[in-house]
Structure 1
Amino acid sequence: MRIFSSVQFPLHLSSYKTKTRLCCGYYILPHHWLPPRASHCKSYKRVTNTAIDLITSRKYALLPVRHITSSLRTLAPSSPLAPEPSPTPPLPNVTYSPPETGLISLLPRPWIPYAELIRLDKPTGTYYLFFPCAFSTLLAAPLASPITHALEIASVCGMFFVGALVMRGAGCTINDLWDRNLDPHVERTRLRPIARKAIPPRNAVIFTGAQLLVGLGVLLQFPTPCLWYGIPSLLFVAAYPLAKRVTNYPQFVLGLTFSWGAIMGFPALNIDFLGNTNAILAASSLYSSCVAWTVLYDTIYAHMDIKYDAAAGIKSIALKHEHNTKAILSALAVTQVTLLAAAGVAVNAGPIFFIGSCGSAFATLSTLIWKVKLKDVGNCWWWFKNGCWITGGGITFGLLGEYLAQVLGLYEASNSAIEERKDWDEPR
């Protein structure tokens, strides 16, 4: 065999069968537009069968074609060998109209596309990015000597929220730049600013740089170690859009990104990891717990676009495990709660944390997994949006209660009472 020439045959079909004269076999072609290579045998000038090597993303297949001469012609869709293209999910005919209500409607008209680009009208992602920061700050506060004051905790959490708002916007801009050729073909994303060409890619790149500079300014307000712990997270921010194209588990990359705040609370309160085993164990356990949480809720989010992602070649856990997603979610929930409890053990947390934070996380996640309807886009969105506050809020209140118990000395008073009771009960 030698390669005679290259030609692209637009075969768009769910499965195609053709019968060869020599072996009477069938070859099944997957649903792809395939770039084939025409390879002729040495006696290609004779009337014979000629095989076209079809290279797919997974395997090779052979489509026998008869009487291919030196003047190869493109196999047009109208050819008898090319069946009708399979249908793709239709998109409704919707045109963009500027928002008339809400915060974005109050902005000057030229600013609206940039506000939409950073999802200013959809703050759920900002909350998901902020909660790990709040978790780590409240978990680390009792480890400080003396215990961190409540006003300092409020100040640190406030700066973390500003940082979450800015960096979430930067991440959305980077993601939309990567997906600018895919978003127009997905119903939920087709009207995003870059997809509808309201913002040129060049302007979006400049805007990303400006957001990163603002994020750096916020990071510099924290103690110096936070700078060195925070910068590596940018690698994951840039890697997530690529991960959707190369792995079936991009949610883990997103988890590594969104959970980074679970580490940052410790250096923000001047708790150094070097030589502090309890701090290292607590931060690593909390970070891993938040990664599991992120994978869980983003898998639910991915179910909203599952039919479009399949057509566009975007990968996700929702696609890979479409028929056993709830089993995956259950395993992630158990992992999250277990690691959250391990973080509490590392800092010698009391019963308020284990009942309030771990107990509420287990109860709310169990309810979510039981109630969510993965085939219903609206239901998935409701649980994604409200699960942020239901689970994240429960964990936060448990940590806040634990912090107040430590500050007020409730555990010390309880331990003293127990010791006195033991002394009273001992025989004299």
Structure 2
Amino acid sequence: MILCASSSPSRRALLQKFPRPGKTVHQNKARQSILQPSSRSLFMTICRNSTKSLYKPCSTYSKKTSLTRSFSQKPISSLATTPPTKEAEQKSTAQYSPPETGLIACLPRRWVPYAELIRLDKPTGTYYLFFPCAFSTLLAAPISSTATPLHVLGTASLFFTGALIMRGAGCAINDLWDRNLDPHVERTKFRPIARGAISPEQAIVFTGFQLLAGLGVLLSFPTQCLWYGIPSLLLVATYPLAKRVTYYPQAVLGLTFSWGAIMGFPALGVDLLSNRDALGAAAALYSSCIAWTVLYDMIYAHMDIKDDVAAGIKSIALRHEHNTKAVLSALAVAQVTLLGAAGAAVGAGPVFFVGSCGSAILTLGTMIWRVRLKSVEDCWWWFKNGCLLTGGGITAGLVLEYIAQITGFYVSSEDRNPQAQEASEC
């Protein structure tokens, strides 16, 4: 069969099947290029493998498109396939790489998975666990009959050590519960248990050692602290289950992370059962810290909101996705109000209300106003830095309040020297 012959029936059949070119110069050149000998093998292939879909008039092509484009050397199926996006390619080819900077990079390679398991390179969670302990310690210090500045400082140091250990244990317990969910969430798929760097059995043994270390820290406090501290272990173990059954797991996290708001009072020898003012202050402070925990973890949950839907994980961010800032504002009001009530219960002065409550209003208001909940980077920035801004501001106010009370800042000159007052009256 010779396609170039004008009398060829195959050529006539092809011309009947294909749309006739117009009279434009562009289309005439395209027609000539089709009939060149170099195109002979292509036309023979078309004739042998003809289908109705292939020989349909090319109505889908624009008039300005040359006929030669419809006979690309690429297979038809490849032309119809949508190429993968750059983001999809990155997700499919993403692999774990050990940290090259920071504290973990300095550790031996065998220790790296365990350091990642306790989030040693992300201390923000430790700070969030420590701040309620610091609040209660500083709030209880002025009403404690045995506390000295060195005693208060030592107690706060013990609390920080305990927060570091127990936060790591909590992360390990959380990852054990979530080992089948973490691989489906972009942010957590490379966690040590999820990627197989640590087996569940190894994680359980490691967590056991952490709990023993935490018990050692707890035994360093007065004996009554032991009875106040043990119930918190139940909350640590049950929090990961909450996100499977309720849209408010942050409330359970608040009950867990805020437990230190109670511990500062017995740590300084203040008996909550016999001192009503201290009990009221501890209850108000605990509730305030719960509101704060739900607030910052709601912002944190917005980083995983898309993956949580796919993985079936529930959170308050999903429940209130369209009115998040209204909920955050209500939580901020509750936190500051309850914080003020805790201070009033122990007779705090103006330094506390201006320093602690004022800084909380300023930092929380700024965070809620400026955070962009659709941005993962922005949510992380405010979660990380909001901890230091709000928690640090409240702590600074409590420190100044403690200094004001032990130095007699609120005591008038007459009260300081009653003998001089009696002499002046005579």
> If the length of structure 1 is used for normalisation, what is the TM-score?
0.76
Cα distance in 2 for partners of 1:277, 1:353 equals 21
Are the equivalent residues in 2 in contact too, given 1:171–1:238 (CA < 8 A)?
yes
Deviations 1:162-207 (A, max 9, x none): 1000000000001001111111111111111001000001111111
- Cα displacement (A) at 1:355: 0.4
Higher helix fraction: Structure 1 or Structure 2?
Answer: 2
Paired positions, count: 338
**Structure 2 match to 1:139:** 139
**Structure 2 match to 1:112:** 112
Query: Relative to structure 2, which stretch is displaced further, 98-107 or 249-258?
Result: 98-107
> What's the secondary structure of 1:180's corresponding residue?
coil
**Alignment-mate amino acid for residue 124 of structure 1:** T
Are the equivalent residues in 2 in contact too, given 1:248–1:316 (CA < 8 A)?
yes
- Cα displacement (A) at 1:415: 7.6
**Structure 2 match to 1:199:** 198
**Structure 2 match to 1:370:** 369
Are the equivalent residues in 2 in contact too, given 1:92–1:187 (CA < 8 A)?
no
Deviations 1:358-390 (A, max 9, x none): 111011101100000000000000000000000
Cα distance in 2 for partners of 1:413, 1:263 equals 32
**Structure 1 match to 2:53:** none
- Cα displacement (A) at 1:93: 2.6
C-alpha RMSD of matched pairs (Å): 2.4
- Cα displacement (A) at 1:158: 0.6
Cα distance in 1 for partners of 2:191, 2:220 equals 33
Are the equivalent residues in 2 in contact too, given 1:89–1:308 (CA < 8 A)?
no
**Structure 2 match to 1:150:** 149
**Structure 1 match to 2:29:** none
Cα distance in 1 for partners of 2:343, 2:238 equals 31
Q: CA, structure 1 residues 414+337, in 2 after alignment: closer, same or farther (shift >3 Å)?
A: farther
The one of the two structures with greater contact order (alpha-carbon pairs below 8 A, sep at least 6) is 2
Deviations 1:103-155 (A, max 9, x none): 11111111110000000000000000000000000000001115x21111111
Are the equivalent residues in 2 in contact too, given 1:251–1:317 (CA < 8 A)?
yes
**Alignment-mate amino acid for residue 275 of structure 1:** S
**Structure 2 match to 1:394:** 393
Cα distance in 1 for partners of 2:214, 2:240 equals 20
Cα distance in 1 for partners of 2:94, 2:413 equals 63
**Alignment-mate amino acid for residue 98 of structure 2:** P
Q: CA, structure 1 residues 415+135, in 2 after alignment: closer, same or farther (shift >3 Å)?
A: farther
Deviations 1:209-260 (A, max 9, x none): 1111110011000000000000000111011100000001000000000000
> What's the secondary structure of 2:93's corresponding residue?
coil
Higher strand fraction: Structure 1 or Structure 2?
Answer: 1
**Alignment-mate amino acid for residue 108 of structure 1:** P
Cα distance in 1 for partners of 2:135, 2:174 equals 26
**Structure 2 match to 1:319:** 318
Cα distance in 1 for partners of 2:158, 2:301 equals 30
**Alignment-mate amino acid for residue 101 of structure 1:** T
Are the equivalent residues in 2 in contact too, given 1:279–1:347 (CA < 8 A)?
yes
**Alignment-mate amino acid for residue 121 of structure 1:** D
> What's the secondary structure of 1:352's corresponding residue?
helix
Cα distance in 2 for partners of 1:322, 1:92 equals 28
Deviations 1:298-332 (A, max 9, x none): 00000000000011111111000000000000000
> What's the secondary structure of 2:194's corresponding residue?
coil
The question of 1:385 aligning with 2:384 is answered: yes
The question of 1:234 aligning with 2:233 is answered: yes
Percent of paired sites with the same residue: 72
5+ long unaligned stretches in structure 1 = 1-87
Are the equivalent residues in 2 in contact too, given 1:91–1:186 (CA < 8 A)?
no
Are the equivalent residues in 2 in contact too, given 1:286–1:339 (CA < 8 A)?
yes
Cα distance in 1 for partners of 2:238, 2:252 equals 8
Cα distance in 2 for partners of 1:409, 1:190 equals 55
- 1:27-426 pair list within 5 angstroms: 91=91, 93-146=93-146, 148-413=147-412, 416=415
Cα distance in 1 for partners of 2:413, 2:328 equals 38
Q: CA, structure 1 residues 89+326, in 2 after alignment: closer, same or farther (shift >3 Å)?
A: farther
Q: CA, structure 1 residues 360+104, in 2 after alignment: closer, same or farther (shift >3 Å)?
A: same
5+ long unaligned stretches in structure 2 = 1-87
- Cα displacement (A) at 1:95: 1.1
Cα distance in 1 for partners of 2:284, 2:114 equals 37
Cα distance in 1 for partners of 2:361, 2:304 equals 27
> What's the secondary structure of 1:270's corresponding residue?
coil
**Larger Cα Rg: Structure 1 or Structure 2?**
2
- Cα displacement (A) at 1:98: 1.5
